Amino acid sequence: MLQLSSKNGLRIQLVPDLKVILIRHAGKPPIGDNLNCQGFNRSVKLPAVLRERYGVPDHVYVPSIGGGESTKNSGMFQTVLPFAIKYNLAVNSRFNVHDATGLAGDIF
């Protein structure tokens, strides 16, 4: 086990077998928050691709969508939703898109 510390005091213990996979949203139009048709079609294919390459994860994280007139992170949620549904996974959206420290603390 390796322990790291960051400038802001976050201490992380790395587990040798831990895999963290980061994916980007499947595809969004230049204007708007939701996936476009191509992005939706990619997200539907994602379960087979991710499972084949990495297996089924223990945890899935997506930035909080927020509310109001703009839901800037909805494309990320829409991307992972088919995967989460197929494998009955909870989607953790407790952290906002700028809370990398909180997310890292929860993962590690």
Residue 16: inside a domain: no
pLDDT at residue 2 tops 50: no
Whether 9 is in a domain gets the answer no
| Res 6: pLDDT | 55
Q: Look at residue 17 and tell me if it is in a domain.
A: no
Q: Which domain holds residue 92?
A: 33-107
67 within domain boundaries: yes
Number of domains observed in the structure of the chain: 1
Residue 19 in any domain: the answer is no
Cα–Cα distance, 70 to 83 (Å, whole number) = 24
* Residue whose pair of structure tokens reads 């213990």 in the numeric block: 13
Residue that is written with structure tokens 């048709």 in the block = 37
**Domain annotation covers residue 26:** no
Query: What per-residue confidence (pLDDT) applies to 11?
Result: 65
Task: Identify the pLDDT of residue 9.
Answer: 61
Residue-wise pLDDT for 45-92, tens only, equals 999 999 999 999 999 999 988 776 767 778 889 999 999 999 999 999
56 in a domain, yes or no?
Answer: yes
Give the model's pLDDT for residue 1: 42
- H-helix or E-strand containing 46? helix 37-54
The 10s digit of each residue's pLDDT in 6-55 is 556 666 666 677 788 888 777 888 888 889 999 999 999 999 999 999 99
- 5 has pLDDT over 70: no
Residue 11 lies in a domain: no
pLDDT at 85: 96
